[in-house]
């Protein structure tokens, strides 16, 4: 009787084979399916950081534009490009609106400065020259557009990591409640990044009429300080927009969140941003040259008078800048959002949370 009772039941063994193997001893209990959440662990009561509970869920390793795991630099760039390629209509529409809203005011400001006497009377034009002023204003406009677009596309990129496409209408509906916060937060971030450089230009311009050695010394020392300040601030400021968009917090909370996330990995974020920006700059230069040659050929074929030709050349230059920035800025903004997600994957186990959610949602 004892021996018979110790023998395995063939029926129960058949049922076990049919239903599959259960979890091994000591494995964590299977969780109930829940929607993927990008909220930080501290937002929800009872939420637990996923690290310390790592287990393989490779069935959902890459449901969208990136693998749901800590990212390499190539995966960040590839994910940003794939996001633009897979949802080009909605992304380029948002990019065109954002870049037009930043480029046109910068062009108007440059026109006012070049027509007035401030540049010549202050010594700025003699010190750095009008081409450099144009370059600096264009760079400031690009930074502002990238910061704004990272906040605008934060929701779309986060959903694309799960394989979901977001329409332009959905982007606007998600953005509309926080338009004011986005404009204030991202403009302040761009101003914080440009502030040290603007102060340096003003100080050196004021000293330019005096001692030349003093002016050069202040310019060199101030330039070094500005470079260090930019290197420290850029990795933190670049993820403010994604934090604001994904976590739906306030301005102050998003700034604190971005600084906290990037505190230990700011060098990694800075290097990734610089490499992405360098590659994007090469593409932008190529697009600018192609468009400039094309527009010059068209204007030359019209055989207009000199004044009209100058006006059309200015319009063509602005149009070329707008088209180029519309195509390039989404890659930079998408990379910023993916770097924000990477920071959370490495620091909070967001990758494991999303992978479990995707697998549970796929199960019947």
Residue 41: what pLDDT? Answer: 66
Contact 233, 259 (CB under 8 A): no
Length of the chain: 364
| Positions of the chain with pLDDT under 70 | 1-37, 41-61, 110-134, 360-364
Per-residue pLDDT reduced to its tens digit, 240-290: 999 999 998 899 999 999 999 999 899 999 999 999 999 999 999 999 999
Residue 243, both tokens: 């934090």
Residue 33: what pLDDT? Answer: 37
> How far, in Å, are 310, 312, 317, 318, 363 from residue 301 at the CA level?
14, 12, 17, 20, 63
Residue 235: what pLDDT? Answer: 95
Contacts of 83 (CB under 8 A, 6+ apart): 65, 91, 153, 156, 157, 160, 330, 334
Residue 132: what pLDDT? Answer: 63
Percent of the chain surpassing pLDDT 70:
75
d(CA 138, CA 120): 20
What number of H helices and E strands is found in the chain? 16, 0
């Amino acid at each position: 009787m004892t021996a018979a009772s110790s023998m395995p039941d063939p029926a129960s063994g058949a049922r076990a084979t049919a239903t599959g193997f259960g979890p091994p001893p000591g494995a964590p209990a299977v969780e109930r399916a829940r929607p993927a959440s990008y909220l930080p662990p501290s937002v929800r009561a009872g939420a637990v950081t996923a690290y310390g509970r790592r287990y393989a869920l490779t069935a959902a390793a890459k449901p969208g534009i990136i693998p749901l795991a800590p990212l390499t630099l190539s995966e960040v760039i590839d994910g940003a490009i794939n996001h633009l390629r897979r949802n080009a209509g909605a992304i380029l529409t948002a990019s065109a609106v954002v870049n037009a809203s930043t480029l046109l005011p910068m062009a108007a400001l440059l026109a006012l400065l070049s027509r007035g006497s401030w540049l010549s009377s202050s010594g700025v034009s003699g010190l750095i020259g009008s081409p450099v002023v144009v370059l600096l204003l264009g760079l400031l406009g690009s930074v502002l557009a990238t910061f704004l677009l990272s906040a605008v596309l934060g929701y779309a990129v986060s959903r694309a990591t799960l394989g979901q496409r977001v329409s332009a209408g959905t982007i606007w509906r998600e953005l509309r409640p926080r338009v004011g916060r986005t404009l204030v937060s991202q403009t302040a971030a761009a101003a914080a990044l440009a502030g040290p450089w603007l102060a340096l230009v003003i100080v050196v311009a004021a000293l330019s009429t005096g001692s030349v050695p003093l002016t050069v010394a202040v310019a060199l020392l101030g330039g070094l300080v500005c470079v260090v300040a930019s290197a420290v601030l850029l990795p933190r400021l670049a993820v403010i927009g994604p934090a604001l968009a994904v976590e739906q917090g306030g301005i102050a909370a998003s700034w604190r969140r971005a600084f906290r996330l990037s505190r230990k990995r700011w060098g990694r974020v800075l290097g990734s941003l610089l490499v992405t920006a360098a590659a994007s700059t090469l593409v932008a230069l190529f697009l600018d040259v192609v468009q400039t040659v094309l527009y010059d050929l068209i204007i030359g074929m019209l055989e207009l008078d000199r004044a009209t030709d100058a006006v059309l050349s200015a319009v063509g230059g602005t149009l070329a800048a707008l088209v180029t920035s519309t195509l390039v800025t989404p890659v930079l903004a998408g990379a910023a959002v993916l770097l924000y997600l990477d920071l959370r994957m490495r620091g909070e186990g967001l990758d494991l949370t999303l992978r479990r959610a995707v697998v549970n949602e796929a199960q019947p």
